[in-house]
């Protein structure tokens, strides 16, 4: 405000505000005079004049408007500060540039990513970050964003200060002034080098896996209830290469294309018998001349009836083509001289060993199989690697090999690796003679067959279990029927309950097969295994936290639960109407190690006592569980009911 008067002031004074309004005051005295800067110096003793209602409301409105503007400015300032903090602390590179490509802002993330400090690059061209081959792409970004378009993240390359190229994701956005005009471009740049490396690794891994599957010698195919080919694995495609079309083809017709009579009819009869009866069939060594390719081939094959995805029974055949192995061994016997050509690139262990047992030569694959380096292996004779519990090669066979009585000898035995572990080796030995036909050295071809041995052992246990179950299946069904008859109020109820329980029994058996290969919830495993046997929820009590078992644990515990349930129905608590079973599990700590405690307790059944003989069922619930899981198993035949407790190491 200003004053244009000197001396005493009038009784009232009106002051104009910068906004164009005015305020009127009553003066109780005061004076005016020139100020030091040429303006007006006013000394007032003022008293506001009384305002009218309209003026008061107008003043109030202006005050509220001013207050709102101040609050809005404060919030905007806080938002700007918050946004600046986010930009500054972001690990992504965030920078802006004007439409002439000059950098106008640069955060710490950009400095860490590209190596330029803000002092170095602000005001400089942003094209120093763009490789020459990406300049046209960058120009396209500028044109599109400059026209107001918002682009999605684009994967491209950017160059660092040290010359390195980075794989990045760039998200450009327009920067507008208050008039809405585009005056620059902001960019968010994310380093995706690690992600791209992982993606390349995954692609390579998937390609390797696909190659392994395609080259696998194992085959699986399924024949449906209509005796038509339903599924064929990659490993089985070669066997059916001359059968087209394949899927949906009558299986008997397909076999007659491949095999001559009477072999084709014999195979068809085996499949039809298994489909009709459920009886499995195993042919470990089938050799025959193929009708379609006129070649002798050998197979180890097994068929069994399973429920296919359409819900109907079918026959699944698992087979292993032995032809390649026989052809390889035949070629080794017929032409030992050609063998050296495959020495360095062979997928099996190969060694040349002198007649005195010293190593003459061996390939890298043998070092990988044994765990010994090229420096360490020559200090150990091959017979020193033999497991102490396995018998050495019969010296008489070696003598016959050296004399030429036999062309080669073959044996399978366990050998000790450098780390102390043992592996099964299939060893073929042939004699190499010199130019004068005298014995020169021995050629060893060694295959690691540990997986096959483990699979055979596992298969034997499952076959034994299958045989055991088939013998007591009728007894179990009979016990379920008797229990159902006791509680059913009518024949209709009896039929419905019996069907439900038999279906539950089938589900339990099916779950046992499926859980051999995937992890499973312990609670679900117990429910599925026991619901068909318990005959009602009140007869089974279970209590424990959620626990996920791995495939091996699920398989073993499932087998044990099935055996316990079977025996409980036949001899234990569930053989009487009042009998109950309590299954409880939880975690404990023993010797500073985590342990899963699983217990089975029977009550209300007949008196129990230890059996005089140890049957397969007792072997499964005690020895098998202990050996396969490294668990402590306690089996107590208490007077008031069987008690079974497992302490399973659980380091997950």
CA distance 50 to 9: 19
pLDDT single digits (tens) 458-485:
777 767 766 655 554 565 566 556 655 6
> What sign does the dihedral 61-66-72-75 (CA atoms) show?
negative
429 pLDDT above the threshold of 80: yes
What does DSSP assign to residue 364? H
Q: Is the dihedral of CA 354, 449, 447, 370 positive or negative?
A: negative
pLDDT above 50 for 504: no
Residue 262 DSSP code: T
Q: Indicate the DSSP class of residue 619.
A: I
Q: What is the tens place of the pLDDT at every residue in 612-644?
A: 877 656 777 888 789 889 999 999 998 889 999
Q: 161 or 57: which carries more pLDDT confidence?
A: 161
**Model pLDDT, residue 264:** 93
Q: SS3 breakdown of the chain: % helix, strand, coil, rounded to 5?
A: 40, 30, 30
Q: Which residues pair with 408 in a beta bridge?
A: 430
Q: Which residues of 77-86 are buried (b: 16+ CB within 10 A; e: fewer)?
A: eeeeeeeeee
Give the Cα separation of 518 and 650 in Å (integer).
Answer: 17
Domains in the chain: boundaries: 7-50, 90-195, 216-321, 326-448, 454-649
Options 3.90.1150.10, 3.30.70.1350, 3.30.565.10, 3.40.50.620; which CATH number does 454-649 get?
3.30.565.10
For residue 516, give the H/E element and its range: none
Averaged pLDDT, 25-44: 50
Cα→Cα distances 21→14, 15, 64, 403, 409, Å:
10, 9, 16, 128, 117
Please tell us whether the domain made up of 216-321 is placed in CATH 3.30.450.20: yes
pLDDT of residue 132: 94
Choose between 54 and 113: higher pLDDT. Answer: 113
Give one DSSP letter per residue of 306-343, joined into a string.
EE-TTSSEEEEEEEEE-HHHHHHHHHHHH-SGGGGGGT
Q: Which residues of 8-40 are buried (b: 16+ CB within 10 A; e: fewer)?
A: ebeeebeeeeeeeeebebebeebbbeeeeeeee
Output the pLDDT for position 209.
Answer: 40
The answer to whether the peptide bond before residue 262 is cis (omega within 30 degrees of 0) is yes
Please return the burial class of 202, using the count of CB atoms within 10 Å of its CB with bins 0-12, 13-18 and 19+: exposed
Give the lowest-confidence range in 71-80, 129-138, 356-365, 406-415: 71-80
- Sheet with strand 580-590: strands edge to edge: 540-543, 580-590, 593-603, 641-649, 632-638
Whether 601 has a pLDDT exceeding 90, the answer reads: yes
More confident residue, 266 or 327: 266
Q: And the tokens for 504?
A: 């539950």
Tokens for 353?
């060993």
Whether the predicted pLDDT of 212 surpasses 50: no
Question: Does the N-terminal peptide bond of residue 245 adopt cis geometry, omega within 30 degrees of 0?
Answer: yes
Supply the pLDDT for residue 547: 92
Return the ∠ at Cα 609 (arms to 608 and 614), rounded to 5°.
125
Superfamily holding 326-448: PAS domain (3.30.450.20)
What pLDDT score does 557 carry?
86
Measure the CA–CA gap between 444 and 587, rounded to whole angstroms. Answer: 51
Percent of the chain with pLDDT over 90: 34
Regarding predicted confidence, which is higher, 545 or 481?
Answer: 545
Tell me what pLDDT residue 491 has: 83
Q: pLDDT grade, residue 188 (50/70/90)?
A: very high
Bridge-based pairing state of the strands 580-590 and 540-543: parallel
Confidence of residue 24 (pLDDT cuts 50, 70, 90): low
Average pLDDT over residues 455-459: 78
Q: Is 7 exposed, middle or buried (0-12, 13-18, 19+ CB in 10 A)?
A: exposed
Q: What integer pLDDT is reported at residue 373 of this predicted model?
A: 92
Whether pLDDT at 556 is above 90: no
Rounded mean pLDDT, 567-583: 90
Question: If you average pLDDT over residues 289-294, what whole number do you get?
Answer: 89
Residue 562 pLDDT level (bands cut at 50, 70, 90) = confident
454-649 shares the fold of 326-448: no
- As a whole number, mean pLDDT of residues 340-347 equals 70
- CB-based contacts of 465, cutoff 8 Å, min separation 6: 559, 616, 620
The superfamily in CATH containing domain 90-195 is PAS domain (3.30.450.20)
Mean of the per-residue pLDDT values of the chain = 80
Phi-psi region of 377 (alpha: psi -120 to 50; beta: other; left: phi over 0): alpha
**Measured between alpha carbons, how far is 387 from 631 in angstroms, rounded to an integer?**
26
For residue 391, pLDDT beyond 70: yes
Map residue 423 onto helix, strand or coil.
strand
Q: Which residue has the higher pLDDT, 500 or 649?
A: 649
pLDDT score at 502: 63
């Amino acid at each position: 405000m200003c004053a244009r008067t000197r001396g005493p002031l009038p009784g009232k004074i009106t002051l104009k505000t910068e906004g164009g309004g005015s305020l009127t005051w009553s003066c109780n005295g005061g004076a005016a005079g020139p100020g030091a800067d040429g303006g007006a110096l006013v000394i007032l003793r003022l008293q506001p004049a009384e305002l009218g209602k309209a003026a008061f409301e107008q003043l109030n409105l202006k005050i509220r408007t001013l207050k709102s503007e101040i609050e809005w400015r404060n919030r905007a300032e806080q938002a700007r500060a918050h946004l600046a903090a986010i930009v500054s602390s972001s690990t992504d590179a965030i920078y802006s540039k004007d439409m002439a490509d000059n950098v106008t802002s640069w955060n710490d993330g950009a400095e860490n990513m590209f190596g330029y400090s803000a002092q170095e690059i602000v005001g400089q061209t942003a094209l120093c970050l763009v490789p020459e081959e990406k300049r046209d792409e960058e120009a396209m970004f500028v044109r599109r964003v400059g026209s107001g378009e918002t682009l999605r993240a684009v994967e491209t390359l950017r160059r660092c200060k040290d010359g390195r190229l980075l794989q990045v994701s760039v998200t450009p956005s327009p920067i507008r002034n208050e008039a809405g005009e585009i005056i620059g471009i902001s960019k968010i740049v994310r380093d995706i080098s690690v992600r791209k490396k992982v993606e390349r690794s995954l692609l390579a891994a998937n390609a390797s896996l696909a190659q392994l599957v395609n080259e696998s010698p194992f085959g699986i195919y399924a024949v449906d209830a209509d005796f038509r080919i339903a599924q064929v694995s990659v490993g089985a495609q070669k066997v059916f290469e001359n059968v087209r079309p394949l899927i949906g083809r009558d299986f008997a017709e397909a076999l007659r294309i491949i095999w001559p009579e009477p072999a084709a009819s014999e195979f068809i009869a085996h499949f039809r018998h298994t489909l009709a009866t459920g009886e499995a069939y195993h042919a470990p060594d089938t050799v025959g001349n193929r009708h379609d390719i006129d070649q002798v081939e050998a197979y180890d094959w097994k068929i069994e009836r399973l429920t296919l995805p359409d819900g109907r029974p079918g026959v699944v055949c698992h087979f292993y083509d032995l032809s390649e192995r026989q052809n390889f061994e035949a070629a080794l016997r017929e032409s030992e001289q050609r063998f050296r050509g495959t020495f360095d690139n062979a997928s099996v262990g190969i060694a040349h060993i002198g007649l005195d047992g010293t190593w003459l030569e061996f390939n890298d694959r043998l070092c990988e199989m044994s765990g010994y380096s090229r420096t360490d292996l020559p200090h150990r004779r091959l017979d020193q690697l033999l497991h102490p519990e396995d018998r050495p090669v019969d010296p008489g066979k070696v003598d016959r090999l050296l004399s030429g009585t036999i062309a080669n000898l073959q044996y399978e035995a366990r050998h000790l690796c450098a780390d102390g572990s043992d592996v099964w080796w299939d060893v073929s030995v042939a004699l190499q003679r010199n130019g004068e036909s005298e014995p020169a050295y021995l050629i060893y071809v060694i295959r690691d067959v540990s997986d096959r041995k483990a699979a055979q052992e596992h298969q034997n246990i499952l076959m034994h279990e299958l045989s055991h179950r088939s013998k007591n299946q009728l007894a179990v069904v009979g016990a379920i029927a008797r229990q159902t008859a006791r509680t059913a109020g009518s024949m209709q109820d009896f039929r419905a309950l019996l069907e439900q329980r038999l279906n539950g029994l089938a589900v339990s058996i099916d779950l046992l097969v499926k859980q051999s290969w995937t992890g499973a919830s312990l609670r679900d495993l117990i429910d599925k295994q026991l619901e068909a046997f318990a005959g009602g929820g009140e007869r089974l009590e279970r209590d424990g936290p959620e626990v996920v078992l791995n495939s091996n644990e699920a398989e073993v515990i499932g087998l044990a639960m099935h055996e316990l349930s079977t025996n409980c129905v036949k001899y234990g608590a569930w053989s009487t109407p009042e009998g109950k079973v309590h299954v409880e599990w939880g975690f404990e700590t023993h010797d500073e190690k985590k342990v899963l405690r699983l217990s089975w307790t029977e009550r209300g059944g007949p008196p129990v006592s230890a059996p005089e003989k140890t049957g397969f069922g007792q072997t499964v619930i005690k020895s098998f569980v202990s050996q396969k899981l490294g668990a402590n198993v306690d089996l107590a035949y208490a007077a008031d009911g069987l008690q079974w407790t497992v302490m399973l190491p659980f380091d997950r």
